[in-house]
């Protein structure tokens, strides 16, 4: 699918939101609650820090390179050009997120070189499934949002949106994780449906294709959503939000162990692993249910 440029959808600022909106939800946080309510609490309410893993850092780096690749003229979007972008993008990320530097103690040059090489290998997986010289994305890493049920702002970052000459939309998500795909596929599809719902509600068009690009395996997974399905999905998202509100009011977020626990940073505080959660944070004097709408959601690649 080639793409015509379109005007980037700007997410509304909190002051532009309808007065009825009283909360916001990103696909990552919604998927957290669906996966494990306690994980949602640790990340969204306790806001416990998570040290980035090498795998997450590699995902962020590959996403950054693929975004910049499309700044080049089409003919210049070669595997060599993508490889050339890797070191500079890594330097930029480390400058912007100094905690990434801590992944490689003492700046071990061999470890950094191996890491950069592994990112280049993932980019090789990208070129095995797409030819970026034939693509002109309409949007990259764009923040999109929509209000559903009058009260809930749903929003998140798209990796890439392609728009065909006939207006058909294709949402593309790059998956860079090395974990078994089946462990994360339901979560990835949930995220893509979330974006499809936002696009449908803001543009009146159901995306024709939701595409997952698994770079490690060099595989493509396409999914074609339907309007009726997105209506049901919207009800699911609103019900999920109500469940989050109820759990917050009751301060009751239970662990739900699964295969995804292997990738959880909070096992030491999880009762399922013999840990104890910290005391539930007391509400501030002026609760701000739109706090998440005033902050920036996780950028692409951060949730790999
Ligand atoms: S370890 Fe598993 S059950 Fe515990 S909080 Fe993390 S994801 Fe939930």
- Residue 3's pLDDT is 36
- Residue 180's pLDDT is 63
- Residue 184's pLDDT is 75
Nearest Cα to 122, choosing from 210, 56, 170?
56
Distance 208 CA to ligand 1 centre (A): 35
Name, in order, each residue with C-beta under 8 angstroms of 174's C-beta and a sequence gap of 6 or more: 62, 63, 66, 126, 159, 160, 213, 215, 300, 301
Helical (H) or strand (E) element with 127: helix 109-129
**Residue to mutate (ligand 1; options 29, 48, 253, 261; most atoms within 8 A of CB):** 261
Residue-wise over 16-42: b if at least 16 C-beta within 10 A, else e?
Answer: ebeeebebbbbbbbbbbbbbbbbbbbb
- Residue 263's pLDDT is 87
Distance 51 CA to ligand 1 centre (A): 16
List pocket residues of ligand 1, CB cut-off 6 Å.
Answer: 36, 38-39, 255-257, 260-261, 264, 266-267, 270, 272-273
Distance 258 CA to ligand 1 centre (A): 8
- Residue 85's pLDDT is 98
pLDDT grade, residue 143 (50/70/90)?
A: very high
- Residue 6's pLDDT is 32
pLDDT for 303 beyond 90: no
pTM to 2 decimal places:
0.85
Distance 225 CA to ligand 1 centre (A): 30
With pLDDT > 90 as the criterion, what percentage of the chain qualifies?
A: 74
Per the CB < 8 A criterion, the answer to whether 46 and 278 are in contact is: yes
Pick from 18-27, 80-89, 218-227, 270-279: least confident: 18-27
Query: For ligand 1, what atom is nearest to the CA of residue 270?
Result: 4
Query: For ligand 1, what atom is nearest to the CA of residue 265?
Result: 6
End-to-end CA distance of the chain: 25
Q: Beta-carbon neighbour count of residue 2 at 10 Å?
A: 11
Per the CB < 8 A criterion, the answer to whether 38 and 252 are in contact is: no
Rg (CA), the chain: 20
- Residue 22's pLDDT is 86
- Residue 296's pLDDT is 45
Distance 194 CA to ligand 1 centre (A): 23
151-204: pLDDT as tens digits: 999 999 999 999 999 999 999 999 997 656 676 788 889 999 999 999 999 999
Q: What is the mean pLDDT of residues 206-215?
A: 96
**Residue to mutate (ligand 1; options 183, 270, 278; most atoms within 8 A of CB):** 270
What φ, ψ does residue 227 adopt, rounded to 5°? -60, -45
Distance 183 CA to ligand 1 centre (A): 14
pLDDT grade, residue 14 (50/70/90)?
A: low
Name, in order, each residue with C-beta under 8 angstroms of 21's C-beta and a sequence gap of 6 or more: 147, 150, 151, 152, 153, 290, 293
* HSE, side-chain direction, 13 A CA sphere, residue 215: 24
Name the CA dihedral angle for 119, 47, 294, 210, rounded to a multiple of 10 degrees.
Answer: 40
Q: Which residues pair with 139 in a beta bridge?
A: 161
**Residue to mutate (ligand 1; options 50, 253, 264; most atoms within 8 A of CB):** 264
56 or 101, which is more confident? 56
Alpha-carbon torsion (174, 176, 182, 187), positive or negative: negative
250-295: pLDDT as tens digits: 999 999 999 889 989 999 999 999 999 999 998 764 445 455 544 4
What φ, ψ does residue 231 adopt, rounded to 5°? -60, -45
Per the CB < 8 A criterion, the answer to whether 106 and 100 are in contact is: no
Which residue's CA lies nearest to atom 5 of ligand 1? Answer: 39
Distance 265 CA to ligand 1 centre (A): 8
Q: How far is it, in rounded angstroms, from Cα 105 to Cα 99?
A: 11
78-86: long-range contacts, CB 8 A cutoff, minimum separation 24: 78/133, 79/123, 79/124, 79/127, 82/120, 82/123, 82/126, 82/127, 83/120, 83/123, 86/61, 86/116, 86/119, 86/120, 86/123
Name, in order, each residue with C-beta under 8 angstroms of 242's C-beta and a sequence gap of 6 or more: none
- H-helix segments, 16-78: 27-35, 37-40, 54-69
Q: Is 283 exposed, middle or buried (0-12, 13-18, 19+ CB in 10 A)?
A: exposed
Distance 119 CA to ligand 1 centre (A): 28
pLDDT grade, residue 11 (50/70/90)?
A: low
Q: What is the mean pLDDT of residues 9-36?
A: 81
What φ, ψ does residue 183 adopt, rounded to 5°? -70, -25
- Residue 178's pLDDT is 63
246 or 3, which is more confident? 246
With pLDDT > 70 as the criterion, what percentage of the chain qualifies?
A: 86
16 or 271, which is more confident? 271
Report helix, strand or coil for 254: coil
Query: And the tokens for 37?
Result: 């309510």
Q: What is the mean pLDDT of residues 53-77?
A: 96
Provide the mean pLDDT of the chain: 88
């Amino acid at each position: 699918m080639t793409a015509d440029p379109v005007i980037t959808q700007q997410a509304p600022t909190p002051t532009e939101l309808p007065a009825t909106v009283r909360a916001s939800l990103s696909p990552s946080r919604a998927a957290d609650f669906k996966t494990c309510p306690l994980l949602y609490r640790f990340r969204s309410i306790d806001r416990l820090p998570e040290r980035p893993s090498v795998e997450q850092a590699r995902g962020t780096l590959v996403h950054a390179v693929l975004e910049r690749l499309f700044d080049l003229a089409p003919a210049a979007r070669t595997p060599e050009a993508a490889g050339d972008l890797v070191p500079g993008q890594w330097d930029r990320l480390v400058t912007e997120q100094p905690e990434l530097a801590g992944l490689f103690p003492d700046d071990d040059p061999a470890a950094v070189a191996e890491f950069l090489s592994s990112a280049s290998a993932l980019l090789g997986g990208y070129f095995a499934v797409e030819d970026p010289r034939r693509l002109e994305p309409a949007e990259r890493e764009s923040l999109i949002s929509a209000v559903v049920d009058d009260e809930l702002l749903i929003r998140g970052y798209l990796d890439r949106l392609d728009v065909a000459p006939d207006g058909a939309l294709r949402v593309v998500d790059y998956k860079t994780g090395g974990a078994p795909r089946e462990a994360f596929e339901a979560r990835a599809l949930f995220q893509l449906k979330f974006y499809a719902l936002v696009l449908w509600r803001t543009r009146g068009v159901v995306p024709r294709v939701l595409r997952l690009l698994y770079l490690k395996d060099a595989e493509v997974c396409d999914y074609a959503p339907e309007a009726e399905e997105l209506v049901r999905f919207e009800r699911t998202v609103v019900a999920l939000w109500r469940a989050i509100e109820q759990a917050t009011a009751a301060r009751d977020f239970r662990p739900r162990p699964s295969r995804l626990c292997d990738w959880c940073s909070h096992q030491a505080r999880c009762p399922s692993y013999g840990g104890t959660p910290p005391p539930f944070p007391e509400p501030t004097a002026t609760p701000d249910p739109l706090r998440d709408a005033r902050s920036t959601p996780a950028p692409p690649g951060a949730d790999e």
